[in-house]
Structure 1
Amino acid sequence: MSPNAAATAAAPIERLWTVVSDVTAWPRHLDTFDEIVAAAGNGSGGEVGRRFRVRQPGLPAATYEITEWSPPTTFTWVARSPGVVTTAAHILIPTDRGTELALSVEWRGPLAPLVRLLATRRTQRMIEIEATTLTRSPSPMGEARDALLAGIVNHYAARGVRDTSLRTLASAVGTSQRMLNYHFGSREDVLTAVIDVIAGQQARQIGALFAQAADPFEAGRRNWDETVAGAQVFAPLWFELASHAMHDTPSAGRLREVMVAAQLREFTRLYAEHTTPGHAASLARLTLAVGRGLVFSLLLDGDRVGADRAISEFTTMVRRALSDS
């Protein structure tokens, strides 16, 4: 029996087709492919006659040519080698639960019986993985990095960075080291991406809250509430990453930018609407220091009431400072 597999995505056929038909992006999601590159002069899209160089783990490289292309339901490609022709079909079928993806592989030619004997079991496992993975999250392949990064951030928030290797991290978030290398690069690049997420969100949060609120002090209070809510999950990771900057780790330069400089710029800009540039810069640094100091103590002693009172007192001091300027 030829290898075949099927899985269902909770998505319309057109959306799943964007994933299945984007063959050059498959290696970003699928550990069963190392590389898919459009042959010279063929581009990267899919139409009958287009050819792609395909490398898969443990298999010789092969050139596949598309022989059937019927969006959004079907595409088939064929690889020819001495003694055997490999045909792989990809069929999308609308159902009442979404869209079913059916995959199959067939060998023909004088050496086909030998290939079936040697390769059927392994090929069956591979296409089962492919059917499951391609239908699990039927969104454009470009979103794979964001989904993977979200898992990494959550893992680090729960367990810390410590000396976690890429291999250990990959196992923890349900991917491979090769995929981490593909999307991010080195371990330091992974940390930089994590820093951009948790620190970048804070800087954007500051600007958004103050833009929405008529009273800047009310916006400041809301910023404190949201910071505390996020701190319950991410603050231990935040302070651990800050220690990396203090020890001049390879990602320290980026840490200083997003954890200090970016937020100082945002607070300075906001204060400068009410006072002189120099005074605004001083208040910005004071605001950042007070907020982080209170978050640090809150995480250790759990005294939210005391922290809130301190923020109220600080707000009063800032009001007075701005009215006197």
Structure 2
Amino acid sequence: MPGLQHSVVIAAPPERVWAVLVDVERWPSLIPTVDSVERLDAGPLAVGARTRLRQPRLPEAVWTVTELTEGSSFTWESHSPGATVVASHVVEPHADGSRLRLSVTMTGPLSRIGWAMTRSLTHRYVDLEADAIAGAARSAD
């Protein structure tokens, strides 16, 4: 199963990192790899919630939350013909504040081809996203 995982330690408490992470509607103003976000459901992020996400150089995707542990993690997935992309977001306490772990995996009959086409872009985007979330969490008051 193609994929990647990226971790970053953030000098901010887990609650602050979590608040930035789940406020997906603010991502376009915080994260340079997100052009627009449209929540398709009202209320806080929860299992079953759907979000339309537009990113440069990638097709528009609808992401559905499949797992959520309040204050620490959420996973969502997006389906396209022949492939499913799963993205996990985990915030853990760390001696220096928090650790943010982001992971992306791709499954399905076309996943190896899809991953070959998007691997380097996905690596770059995940690195940029982790850095942007870290920066926003450190500067939040």
TM-score interval for Structure 1 and Structure 2 normalised by the shorter chain:
over 0.9
Q: Give the C-alpha shift of residue 140 in structure 1.
A: 8.1
- Identify the structure with the greater strand proportion: 2
| 1:34-59 CA distance string (max 9 Å, x none) | 011111xx115200000001100011
Partner Cα separation in structure 2 for residue 112 and residue 44 of structure 1: 32
Q: What stretches of structure 2 of length at least 5 have no aligned partner?
A: none
Counterpart position of 1:90: 89
Aligned to 2:54: 55
Aligned pairs for 1:1-325 within 5 A = 2-39=3-40, 42-138=41-137
The alignment partner of 2:64 has SS state of strand
| Aligned residue identity for 1:38 | R
Q: Residues 16 and 135 of structure 1 are in contact (CA less than 8 Å); yes or no, is this contact kept in structure 2?
A: yes
- Give the Cα separation in 1 of the matches to 2:139 and 2:94: 21
Amino acid at match of 2:58: L
Letter of the structure 2 residue corresponding to residue 92 of structure 1? V
Aligned length: 140
Instruction: Please report the RMSD computed on the Cα atoms of aligned residues, expressed in angstroms.
Output: 1.6
TM-score (norm 1): 0.42
Q: 1:6 to 1:118 in 2, by over 3 A?
A: same
**1:140–1:96 Cα change, 3 Å:** closer
Query: Does the CA-based 8 Å contact 1:37-1:44 persist in structure 2?
Result: no
In structure 2, C-alpha distance between the alignment counterparts of 1:72 and 1:113, rounded to whole Å: 33
Identity, % of aligned positions: 33
Structure 1 residue 132: Cα displacement: 1.0
Structure 1 gaps, min length 5: 144-325
SS class of match (2:78): strand
Q: How has the CA–CA distance of structure 1 residues 67 and 140 changed in structure 2, closer, same or farther, with 3 Å as cutoff? A: farther
**Higher relative contact order (CA closer than 8 Å, sequence separation 6+):** 2
Relative to the length of structure 2, the TM-score reads 0.93
* 1:108-138 Cα deviation digits (max 9, x unpaired): 0000010111111110010000111101231
